[in-house]
């Protein structure tokens, strides 16, 4: 088993989403002692955004790219290859202003590549990142589970599923900014969710 942990908090130290993602990875490793873990912390290794230069590079045929364009595409290629090379993906996902971190969005923008990680067929889109199990470690100040205010879970189910990752298990760490008792309860709920997700 090869596990890829992606930390997408804006902070590299003290992040609650990373703490819960670490717990998931540790419990996976406890169950699968031969498992190999790769950790990519997007706060430490920021990935560039999908800006005009990046789109220009992607839309330029490979043989016509400038060295700078080729280098930019290669950064995305590396993230795609990394996902493809692992069986299990653990995503640390904070909530910022009701949405995902910019770090997570740049990672998703990097791995979504037409013709490589998804394609359109006569019957509709087909995701090409298949056979993965994804654990999503959610960290939130408030509580949104199963409410209309949770825009992250539907989005992540949608975009990961579009790319072929349909086995997605959500771990909820919520109420983390609502005082010490609520935070303790939130971390305990995350542990219960991990146990359920791994059973």
Ligand X SMILES: Cc1cc2nc3c(=O)[nH]c(=O)nc-3n(C[C@H](O)[C@H](O)[C@H](O)COP(=O)(O)O)c2cc1C
Q: Measured on CA atoms in the order 174, 179, 184, 185, is the torsion positive or negative?
A: negative
Residue-wise DSSP of 65-107: --HHHHHHHHHHHHHHHHHHT-SEEEEEEE-BTTB--HHHHHH
Indicate the residue among 5 and 9 with the shorter CB distance to ligand X.
Answer: 9
Q: Candidates 89-97, 108-116, 119-127, 153-161 — which segment interacts with ligand X by CB under 6 A?
A: 89-97
List the 2-7 sheet strands across, edge first. Answer: 36-41, 2-7, 88-94, 133-139, 167-173
141 binds ligand X (CB under 6 A): yes
Residue among 139, 156, 190, 194 that touches ligand X (CB under 6 A): 139
Indicate the residue among 44 and 74 with the shorter CB distance to ligand X.
Answer: 44
9 binds ligand X (CB under 6 A): yes
CA end-to-end span of the chain: 17
Classified as helix, coil or strand, 8 is coil
Size of the site for ligand X (CB under 6 A): 17
Q: How far is the CB of 64 from ligand X (least distance, A)?
A: 40
Query: With contact defined as beta carbons under 8 Å apart, do 152 and 92 qualify?
Result: no
177 binds ligand X (CB under 6 A): yes
Indicate the residue among 42 and 79 with the shorter CB distance to ligand X.
Answer: 42
Q: Give the interface with ligand X as residue ranges (CB under 6 A).
A: 9, 11, 15-18, 94-98, 139-142, 176-177
């Amino acid at each position: 088993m090869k596990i890829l942990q992606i930390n997408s908090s804006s902070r590299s130290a003290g992040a609650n989403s990373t703490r819960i993602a670490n717990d998931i990875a540790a419990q996976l490793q406890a169950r699968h002692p031969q498992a190999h873990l790769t950790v990519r912390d997007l706060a430490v290794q920021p990935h560039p955004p999908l800006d005009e230069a990046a789109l220009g590079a992607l839309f330029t045929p490979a043989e016509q790219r400038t060295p700078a364009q080729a280098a930019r595409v290669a950064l995305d290629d590396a993230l795609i290859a990394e996902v493809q090379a692992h069986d299990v993906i653990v995503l640390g996902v904070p909530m910022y202003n009701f949405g995902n971190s910019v770090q997570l969005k740049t990672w998703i923008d990097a791995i979504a590549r037409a013709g490589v990680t998804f394609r359109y067929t006569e019957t509709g889109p087909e995701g090409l990142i298949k056979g993965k199990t994804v654990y999503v470690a959610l960290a939130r100040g408030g509580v949104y589970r199963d409410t209309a205010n949770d825009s992250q879970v539907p989005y992540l189910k949608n975009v990961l599923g579009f790319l072929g990752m349909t086995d997605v298990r959500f771990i909820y760490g919520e109420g983390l900014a609502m005082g010490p008792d609520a935070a303790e309860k939130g971390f305990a709920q995350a542990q219960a969710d991990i146990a359920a997700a791994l059973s």
